Amino acid sequence: MKVFKFGGAAVKDANGFRNACSITGLFPKEDLVIVVSAIGKTTNALEELTDAFFFKKGNAEQLLSKIKEAHIELMNQLFPDPSDPIYNEISNTFVELDWAIEEEPSANYHFDYDQIVSMGEILSSKILSAFLNKEKILNTWLDARGLIQTDNNYQEGKVNWELTEKLVRTNLLPMLNKQGSILVTQGFIGGTSENLSTTLGREGSDYTAAIIAFAADAQEVVIWKDVPGVLNADPKWFDQTKKIEQLSYQDAIELSYYGATVIHPKTIKPLQNKKIPLFVKSFIHPNDAGTVINDVQTHLPVPCFIFKVDQILISISPKDFSFIAEENLSSIFKLFADHGVKINVIQNSAISFSVSADNDDRKIPPLIEQLKSDFRVLYNDHLELITIRYYDQPTIDRVCSGKTILLEQKSRYTVQLVVKNTP
Ligand code: ASP
Ligand code: MG
């Protein structure tokens, strides 16, 4: 069995659906599990809807109408027959959202977020399943909330691996009962033991594909993207990018962790654990080789570089000029963890400790406030974090031209630089 994942960009419009359909049609003899994301930017729109509903700012009904219209417009292009049952199906799904925003918000933003935002994938997967069936690619729709079990850490559900494996084995595998069976399910979402919806973190559909592949012992995972494979730099920033043919799990995890957006960082571990290869392929040229990420030890032939913008560099030192010692460090780390701030780079000296993190305006100000009660805190924002794996000096010079380096850290294969634009 293979797991295919189509992200929001792959199904952003009617042509995307048609293309996903023709790609699926290229594998008539394979058992496939298709994991799909919400259409285009629907998740962002649903986040806006959640904020309007929860904080009572903005017009929730109007935001929901726009999301409805976009889905209806798409269906009009895919299903010319107005009596097609998909119209009823989707309208019933929207009724659930109507009800959700008619109620008063709960006390927990993260909970409400997951109940609302998870619907994006329910909608897209229903439309994809119905469209494939209409095009004679017979398939069954499966609810991922009954497969992927998480705790109730809403917005960042933690997978219960044992239970998930059991559910995949009892609810999914038996449905792949003949060669060429196809199942369509949702990325990004899971369910709790009380049958409530959870989400796995933004861009989490890749992770879903990996979880299912792990639990079902899949033969491979294919992520269909708008790029030809994994590139050595983001084509948004650089024009001379090179496609990487083969990547080790180790390099893939390092690159995605430091911000290569091509795959979600959590995706690699479950696949590495079972040595399942991950292919990243172009949905525009589906017959091209793409990139394979698998169990090899080879190093990359070219430097790979990743930019993370909007970084803040925070320097923390004890108020009384004492050393940064273990007790200080553990209380500092605890504060970062309590505020949900992920640390990107760390450097410490005798009396100070510097950290670069994403400058999230909801999380960083309260963290700094709290740090200030025990430490002297200085910070610099609007910075970039540049990570170069398999670095060489010409690449460092090239990416740092016109920039001032505030922090530099080199290990054998990786250099990380926190820089600001030189005024
Ligand atoms: N739809 C979700 C998001 O945009 C999950 C995903 O696309 O992977 O974050
Ligand atoms: Mg997406």
Q: What's the CA-to-centroid distance between 318 and ligand 1, angstroms?
A: 41
Residue for token digits 């250099």? Answer: 415
Distances (CA, A) of 182 to 68, 76, 228, 270: 27, 24, 25, 22
Count of CB atoms within 10 A of residue 351's CB?
14
pLDDT tens figures, 268-317: 999 999 999 999 999 999 999 999 999 999 898 899 989 999 999 999 99
Do 314 and 354 touch, CB atoms closer than 8 A? Answer: yes
3-class DSSP state of 285: coil
pLDDT digits (tens, 9 = 90+) for 324-373: 888 888 999 999 999 989 999 999 888 889 999 999 988 999 999 999 99
231 with 243: CB under 8 angstroms?
Answer: yes
The atom number, within ligand 1, closest to the CA of 38 reads 1
Domains and CATH numbers, the chain: 2-225 (3.40.1160.10), 304-421 (3.30.2130.10)
Please provide the average confidence, as pLDDT, over all residues in the chain. Answer: 94
pLDDT average, residue stretch 249-267: 86
Which residue bears the tokens 């509903």?
53
User: 208: Cβ below 6 Å to ligand 1?
Assistant: no
Ligand 1 and 164: CB distance under 6 A: no
The phi, psi pair for 347, rounded to 5°, reads: -145, 135
Residue for token pair 């992927």: 148
Note the pLDDT of residue 236. 81
* Angstrom distances, CA of residue 307 to CA of 9, 223, 261: 21, 22, 10
What residue owns the CA closest to ligand 1's atom 5? 203
Would you say residue 252 has pLDDT above 80? yes
